[in-house]
Amino acid sequence: MAENTEQTSSRPSVAILGLGTMGTGMAHRLLSQNGKVTVYSRNSDKRQEFEKAGASTADSPSKAVENADVVITIVSDDAASREVWLGRNGALASVKPGSVSLECSTISPDWVSELGKHFAEKGRQFLDAPVTGSKPQAAAGELTFLVGGQPDSLQKAEPVLNLLGRKIAHLGPLGSGARMKLINNMLCAVQAAGLAEALALAEKSRLAIDSVLDILTNGAPGSPMVKTLSKRMIDRNYDVNFYLHLMAKDVEYAVNLSESVGASHESADAALDLLNKAKEKGWNDKDFSSLIEPLRAQ
């Protein structure tokens, strides 16, 4: 027992800023591993939930990070990230010397670059480390971290990331993680859009859906994405693993990145168009598998 107590006391203290779907899963995972966790959310009910679960809570990003060895931010977009780090009572002002901060949100490479400059001016360590995986992987500690930044900063963060993930991919200098995450989510959206069209066509063709699913999921198209989303689309189960509006935002960022480097984005444009149609039809706050619904309504 004494050994376990010593191991727990030697673990770095962690601040998690943002308690959406992913931040909530990550915070609960750390608590389940006897981690020392302080959480911040604008939502007071969320803070109370974690206080009951044994976490420390803070009513501002600045207070949340004061004693943290590792700071993790996971929020919705560039604007939310800017507010958490640089806004009123922002976290960067209180990040302590010797700590390392990780931006795990899916944000634009331009914002990562700008934020990195703010950290450098303050003499603090910073990584961009967005994640792949969804709600179940966050809760189970099976995320993949896509990391950009200095290797020594990553080494400092690894004890925490190893509790939260099954894989850490160091992709290069700052901003590399953000670029990889946008490429990943762009492809996910394109696959989802293609799957939605295929299933809508199968339904309108009056094919036996069980046979359709068997062939699509166990044949050449049967990626993990297709296997997961096809059942959700057929069951019309749009409980959120990944919000539709966030996927639309990610694809928009990916299109912007493509334009900045002169890369093609025609298939991403088509996927984004379908996501935006679903948003207009009221599926904004549902799982992104609901992008099939505008096709069913045609």
**Which neighbouring-strand residues pair with 36?**
13
**Residue of 156, 181, 249, 286 marked active site:** 181
Q: Which residues of 247-259 are buried (b: 16+ CB within 10 A; e: fewer)?
A: bbbbbbbbbebbe
Structure tokens at 104: 């795990």
- Whether 276 and 292 have beta carbons less than 8 Å apart is answered as no
**Which neighbouring-strand residues pair with 190?**
none
Structure tokens at 269: 């444009």
- Whether 16 and 164 have beta carbons less than 8 Å apart is answered as no
Compute the CA torsion angle 297, 188, 101, 60 (nearest 10 deg): 10
Structure tokens at 278: 């679903």
The answer to whether 181 is a known catalytic residue is yes
Q: Tell me the torsion sign for CA atoms 189, 193, 198, 204.
A: positive
Helix H or strand E segment including 165: strand 165-172
Rounded to 5°, angle at Cα 123 from 119 and 68: 75
Euclidean distance between CA atoms 274 and 291, whole angstroms: 6
Q: What is the largest CA-CA distance in the chain?
A: 66
Euclidean distance between CA atoms 147 and 10, whole angstroms: 24
Of 191, 138, 152, residue with least CA distance to 28: 138
Euclidean distance between CA atoms 123 and 109, whole angstroms: 21
The set of catalytic residues is: 181
